[in-house]
């Protein structure tokens, strides 16, 4: 049995995820402790693009891994860039939670029933673009902060509704506040949304072997297709695109969207196949041929 030092951000959601992994490792007979690491993304008050996008939530944790100060990192997979630093690898993907986005509105109003001009909060370009494509009469504003901060801003009246990941609000025990789980046919989630990924040093075979019992093959197959699509579009986490793969027996059904940030144009596509990486790459190539690159230009 192994002793693990787990690296995690200090947000409530990140700590929930790290504690979940710690509990599962202990159930397998290992010992585990958590080390909280403050990342560049935690220090930024403005938009993340200025410090490298969502990857800024990983930088210092990955540095600690490479320096052998921790043994394992726990991440929300949607925040993990498709290219990892040399020497690091994703060694397990846990069973995925609900990947859908959730609408939380001040008075329980569903997305379709929000009045024209209603203020909806999100920091995600992907959510913004798809919301405006469906409801161009809404006013979509920037909403940063952790889950508690976002919900507090809604209660204080800064917004009429917010859009947030179903998995995150559920993990924090606040699922009863969800007004509507948004159908992926309307708004596709981010690649990897709802999945927890474990990262370790690629030379640390002992850690990789120990966490394999936490690995969920079907979830890994699905997110592999989504991340291959993201990689085919350039690999950035801060672009208005969504991808969602569902396992259907031996096949995967991958749906994806690329949008202009203001929601004025969208490209949708879907494919079925058995090999996630090939499926995602092929769908990315198709959408690029149909003009996706032009939509992603600032």
The DSSP annotation for 84-117 comes to: PPTTEEEEEEPPP----EEEEETT---GGGSPTT
What is the Cα–Cα distance from 135 to 186, expressed in whole angstroms? 11
What is the Cα–Cα distance from 107 to 110, expressed in whole angstroms? 9
CB count within 10 Å of CB 32 equals 20
CB count within 10 Å of CB 29 equals 9
| Active-site residue, 160 included | no
| 71, 79, 101, 204: the active-site residue | 79
What is the Cα–Cα distance from 296 to 49, expressed in whole angstroms? 15
Angstrom distances, CA of residue 209 to CA of 7, 93, 98, 154, 205? 18, 13, 27, 44, 6
What is the Cα–Cα distance from 55 to 76, expressed in whole angstroms? 11
What is the Cα–Cα distance from 83 to 179, expressed in whole angstroms? 35
Q: Which residue has the tokens 């920091």?
A: 123
Q: Which residue has the tokens 């909403």?
A: 143
How many residues make up the chain in this entry?
298
Please list the active-site residues. Answer: 79
């Amino acid at each position: 049995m192994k002793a693990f030092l787990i690296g995690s951000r200090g947000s409530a959601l990140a700590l929930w995820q790290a504690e979940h992994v710690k509990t599962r490792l202990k159930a397998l007979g290992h010992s585990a402790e958590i080390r909280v690491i403050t990342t560049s993304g935690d220090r930024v008050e403005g938009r993340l693009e200025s410090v490298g996008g969502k990857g800024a939530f990983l930088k210092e944790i990955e540095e600690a891994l490479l320096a052998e100060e921790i043994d394992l990192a726990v991440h929300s997979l949607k925040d993990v860039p498709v290219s990892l630093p040399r020497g690091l690898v994703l060694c397990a993907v846990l069973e995925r939670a609900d990947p859908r986005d959730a609408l939380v509105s001040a008075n329980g109003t569903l997305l379709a029933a929000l009045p024209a001009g209603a203020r909806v909060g999100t920091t995600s370009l992907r959510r913004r673009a798809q919301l405006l494509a469906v409801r161009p009469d809404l006013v979509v504003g920037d909403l940063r902060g952790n889950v508690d901060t976002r919900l507090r801003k809604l209660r204080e009246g800064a917004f009429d509704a917010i859009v947030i990941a179903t998995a995150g609000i559920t993990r924090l025990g606040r699922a009863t506040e969800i007004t509507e789980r948004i159908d992926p046919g309307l708004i596709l989630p981010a690649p990897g949304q709802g999945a927890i990924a474990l990262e370790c040093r690629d030379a640390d075979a002992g850690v990789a072997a120990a966490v394999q019992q936490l690995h969920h093959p079907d979830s890994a197959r699905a997110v592999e297709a989504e991340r291959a699509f993201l990689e085919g579009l350039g690999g950035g986490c801060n672009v208005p695109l969504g991808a969602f793969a569902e396992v259907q027996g031996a096949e995967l059904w991958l749906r994806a969207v690329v949008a202009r940030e203001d929601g004025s144009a969208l490209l949708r596509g879907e494919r079925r196949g058995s090999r996630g990486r090939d499926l995602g790459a092929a769908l990315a190539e198709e959408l690029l041929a149909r003009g996706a690159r032009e939509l992603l230009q600032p």
